[in-house]
Structure 1
Amino acid sequence: MSIAADPRTIPFADAHGAEKTLADYGDGVILVVNVASKCGFTPQYEQLEQLQRAYGDRGLTVVGFPCNQFMGQEPGSTDEVVEYCTTTWGVTFPIADKVRVNGSHAAPLFKALKKTKDGKGLAGPVAWNFEKFLVLPSGEVRRFRSKTVPDDPAIVRLIEEHVAS
């Protein structure tokens, strides 16, 4: 489903505080994920990294957005999150600065992404950590809830359809 503003142009801060947009990561497929280090879904970092390694040279970029809105499961600083991700899970994909994904202070990128409906036709608030938004080169967004693992066939099929061969 398309959203009004192209999500590739909405600014956010990276882990070092520099302003970025998804377009800064190229014109390929971007997998945006709100992440947390102390969540039952945290092992999804491994699958996210596997996707990055498998498809990164073909145009996929995974971008993790740490968020502490769900039961305080991302309590550390952005630097601590990056350290945890790289040392525990071997993450090489970019991690952004911590964000809010819901509420009046939600990051603009997530305000836009949340307008996208999931497979059940539901848009609205991010329900939990590790919700995934696959931003295709056209700017079209596909939304997958937390229980959908990163290497789910539906996600992999979309990545393969939109990355270089």
Structure 2
Amino acid sequence: MAPAPTRGAARALRCGAVGLSTGLLAVLAHAGGGGHLPSLPHLLVFALAIGWTCLPLTDRQLGFGELLSLVGVVQVAAHVFLVVLSRRPRELVPAPAMLLGHALATAIVVVALAGFEQAVFRLAAAVAAVLPRRLSPPLAVAPLRIPIAAHPPQPLAEVLRRRTVPRRGPPLS
């Protein structure tokens, strides 16, 4: 079976790349625009939440538009998350410098992730082209055994009734 970047460790790696790159650049853009820097545990929880959230999306290759919308939503969520952590609700509407920082971070992350997606899928296709394939199903070496119950199970009361009270009918002769 050919390796697929939509399953297993490759899928987890793709989610981790989205989570870490988006989360890290969102925090750096927020701090560059004059915002509050969170503690490392908060940052890791946020990056893990992003990676976990993108898990349903990585069952196929993500296109540029999908990545742009995903990263854009994450940038907005990161801004709100960091404002809530800093306990400054007046900063919920970003300043122009912070808005520019988030937009620049979105562009950088989308371009990097689009290249990463293409590289991962091309690598998987190259590895799949080199690996041997089974072109036909394996030959059968024995008959197929299907277990079938000979008699349906009967309750004990039914078995005892049949043995102790024979069926009555007309005489045999």
TM normalised by structure 2 equals 0.25
Greater strand content: 1
Greater helix content: 2
Instruction: Name which one, 1 or 2, has greater alpha-carbon Rg.
Output: 2
TM normalised by structure 1 equals 0.25
